[in-house]
Chain A
Amino acid sequence: DAKTTQPNSMESNEEEPVHLPCNHSTISGTDYIHWYRQLPSQGPEYVIHGLTSNVNNRMASLAIAEDRKSSTLILHRATLRDAAVYYCIARGNQGGKLIFGQGTELSVKP
């Protein structure tokens, strides 16, 4: 599993887009990029994952750099409910443990 680096914290205004960056310069060719988030007083929640192409789902979009050394999680319109710690994880696609870093604590201002 590759090491990932994220900013400790970010702020956003409600209704605005949020771009959460993640660096994973040692990622291998078969490692997927996964994002989870943890809302206050809850367990982590799966957000999205991808390998090379950009991915979209109802929660977010994942933009992956062409060299795969970085990626960005995009929340298109932040809501107060999106305030959470967001974790970027780079690992293989065969299941198994998740290695969580420190994550980015996102705060959303009304």
Chain B
Amino acid sequence: EAGVTQSPTHLIKTRGQQATLRCSPISGHTSVYWYQQALGLGLQFLLWYDEGEERNRGNFPPRFSGRQFPNYSSELNVNALELEDSALYLCASSLVGRNEQFFGPGTRLTVL
């Protein structure tokens, strides 16, 4: 069974640009989560989508947004990139209401 996949693996952008990160959950999983892992800040929760709806949002500005498609894949958009947005962005999926979250390998975003 395929795990959570994320694309691209690496992304390099400049300040002010927009970045789009993609995630495909494990087949049958309807919940998708996004986390940011910046150097020195640890893993921080960004967004949770389930059945196409945003269920919860972490303490991040509105320029971090996303969506979940009918096939449960998800997209994270970061507008007006800032240097501090450089981080590893991790996507996880789970069956709704279940404890275990399964993480993808992440997208390394570098903002120059």
A interface, CB within 8 angstroms of B: 32, 34, 36, 38, 42-46, 49, 87, 93-103
Contacts and interface: CB of A to CB of B under 8 A. Distances in A.
B28 to A, nearest CB: 14
Q: Which 9 pairs of residues, A with B, have the shortest CB-CB distance?
A: A43-B103, A100-B43, A97-B45, A46-B100, A95-B97, A43-B90, A44-B103, A49-B99, A43-B106
A47 to B, nearest CB: 10
Q: What DSSP secondary structure best describes chain B's contact surface? A: strand
A34 to B, nearest CB: 6
A99 B56 CA distance: 13
A46 B103 CA distance: 9
Contact of A95 (B43, B98, B102): B98
A34 B45 CA distance: 16
A95 B31 contact: yes
A89 to B, nearest CB: 10
A96 B55 contact: yes
8 contacts: A34-B99, A38-B43, A43-B90, A95-B97, A97-B33, A97-B45, A98-B43, A103-B42
Contact of B48 (A42, A96, A101): A96
A100 B103 contact: no
Interface of B: 4, 31, 33, 35, 42-45, 48, 55-56, 58, 90, 92, 94, 96-106
Contact of B105 (A43, A97, A98): A43
Nearest to B58: A97
A94 B103 CA distance: 18
A96 B99 CA distance: 8
B19 to A, nearest CB: 18
Nearest to B34: A97
Contacts of B43: 38, 44, 87, 98, 100
Contacts of B45: 97-99
A43 B99 contact: no
Nearest to A93: B99
